[in-house]
Each structure stands twice: as C-alpha cells, then as structure tokens.
Structure 1
Amino acid sequence: MASTTSHRTECEERLRPSWRPVASTTGDPAYSGVLQRDEQAAEEARKILAMVLAVWKLEQLAADANLLVTELMSNAARHARGSVVRITVTRTARYRVRVAITDKSRTLPKLVLGDPLDETGRGLRLVDAMSSAWGVIPYNWGKCVWAEVTVS
C-alpha cells in the first residue's frame, strides 16, 4: 500500500504545478502544461485530459480523446528531443476538443500504411481513423502535433 500511495503522491506532484488554464490565440478555452518526456507522460496526459473534459462536461469524448492523447504523447516520448513536452487541450467548438502535443523535434510524423502485423508504426493510422481532424504545425525549434475529437 505504501508504494501505491507514494506513486500517487509522486504523480500528483508531477501534475500539480505543471498545467493550468490559458488564453488561446483563438479565444477558445484551453488548458496547457508541461510534462516530463518519459514513460509516465501518456498516463499523466490522460489524467489532465480527464480533468479538463470533466470541467467542460464533455466526458463522452474521453474514450476517443484518451486514445489520441496516448498515441501523440507516446510518439513524443519515443521520438522527440529534450526532457519535456507541452500538452494543450483546447475546446474549439461546443462539442469538439483539440489535443496538441508540442515537442522539440523538427522531424515531422508521417502517416504510413505499413504492415498490419508490425508491432510499431500504426499510431498515426489510429489518430487518423479516430479523430475528426489532425495535423502538424512545424516550428523552427520543433513541432506541434494535434488531433480533434467531436461528439458524433
């Protein structure tokens, strides 16, 4: 029990100071934060996403949004540079949410068909299939990969 409690406390400490509501450039409500780029990043991103969806009363988006944030964060944790990544969750319409992961790698992701039996390389195919839209914003110092989910 002690190890579960200490893990929970450590995770809460990692989350608490790192994310907050922000004003987006479009005026849409958003939450943004910085996470360590490690094996716990996807789990922490899902927790942030769950809290944000609850605040917006959009829990019905949780299943699809969790899959998207897991894939995007896993790709950043595996392929990006630097010790941290930024997650931003933006409400772009009444029933639509955008999840964006920004990292310091300028290598852009590529949607590849690949072999269905391959163990890796299908993440963006899942993002493409599960999202209403997705894309990449390149920067001089890195990139932002985003995906949107919409209540159908």
Structure 2
Amino acid sequence: MTVTAAKPTATGVPGYTETVPCEPESARRARLLVSAALDTWGISELTEVGTLIVSELISNAVSHTPCRVVRVMIRRERAQAIRIGVADKSRDTPEPGCPEDDSEGGRGLFLVESLSWRWGYDLHRWGKLVWAELRVPAAC
C-alpha cells in the first residue's frame, strides 16, 4: 500500500482538488474530500450520493487506466450545481459496460448516470476528466 501526505488544494472557484495514487484504497481519501467540501458548503445532504459517485469514478480509473495517480476534484461552479471529477492521464474514453445479469461489475457508469443530474468527460492533451454533476437543493 502506498501512503501519500497530500493536502487538498483550493481551486479558485469554490472547490478542492487532491492527487491520490491510482489504487482502490484512494477511494476512501476521495470520499473524505467530497464529504468535507459538501459539509463546508452546508449541503451535507448530498454527501451519500457524492461519495458514492466519487468512489465509482475512482474505481473506473483504477480498473481501466494504466495511470499511477489520479486527481480528484469537487467544485461548486454555480450555486445550483456541484461537479465531482476524477482526472487521469489516459485518453481512453469511458464507456458504460454491458454486464451479464449475474456479473458483479460493469455497472459503475450506469450508477453514476442514475445518481447524478448529468455526467460526462472532457478530453485534454494530457488525458481526461470524467465528471458528474449534482443539483443543489433550492434551500441551500
């Protein structure tokens, strides 16, 4: 197991980002980052959904890319939307799986799609950012 001593970094627009090893254990650190950001912004009611989404995005990066590290980010780009993303250096685009009925895997992006307002990916010269957005409840 690799241990890193990374600190979350503010991103300008209200948000946080952290680089973590591309390994399953990093999902825990990503969930903590998302949970802390949502709590800071006073919208902790989105924590369960947000932490599940970031776990799935980390899992996809671990399973489908050869990357050594990934960058987790959470941003409040608008008052009514939160964007959670995982960036890696692979340019392979994410595709929803076609799992068999009895298969234990292959449903991560379907779960992300069903839990989020919208999701997608942005290709860059250096790799890609896979993201999902959550709507912020009107009272927040």
Scaled by the length of structure 2, the TM-score of the pair is: 0.88
Which residue of 2 is the match for residue 49 of structure 1?
34
For 1:19, give the aligned amino acid.
P
Q: Supply the distance in 2 between the matched residues of 1:68 and 1:129 (Cα, whole angstroms).
A: 10
- CA deviation vs aligned residue, 1:96-152 (integer Å, no higher than 9, x gap): 211010001111111244333221110000011000010011123311100011235
Among candidates 106, 121, 124, match of residue 139 of structure 1: 124
Deviations 1:12-52 (A, max 9, x none): xx35x3321112xxxx3111110111121111100111111
Of the three residues 78, 81, 85, the one matched with 2:70 is: 85
- SS of equivalent residue, structure 2 residue 57: helix
Q: How many residues align?
A: 136
Following superposition of structure 1 onto structure 2, how do residues 112-123 of structure 1 map, counting pairs within 5 Å? 112-123=97-108
User: C-alpha distance in 2, partners of 1:46/1:94?
Assistant: 21
Aligned to 2:136: 151
Q: Find runs of 4+ consecutive structure 1 residues off by over 3 angstroms.
A: none
Match of 1:129 in 2: 114
Alignment of 1:10-89 (within 5 A): 14=4, 17-23=6-12, 28-89=13-74
- TM norm structure 1: 0.81
- Percent of pairs with identical residues: 32
Whose Rg is larger?
1
Gaps of 5+ in 2: none
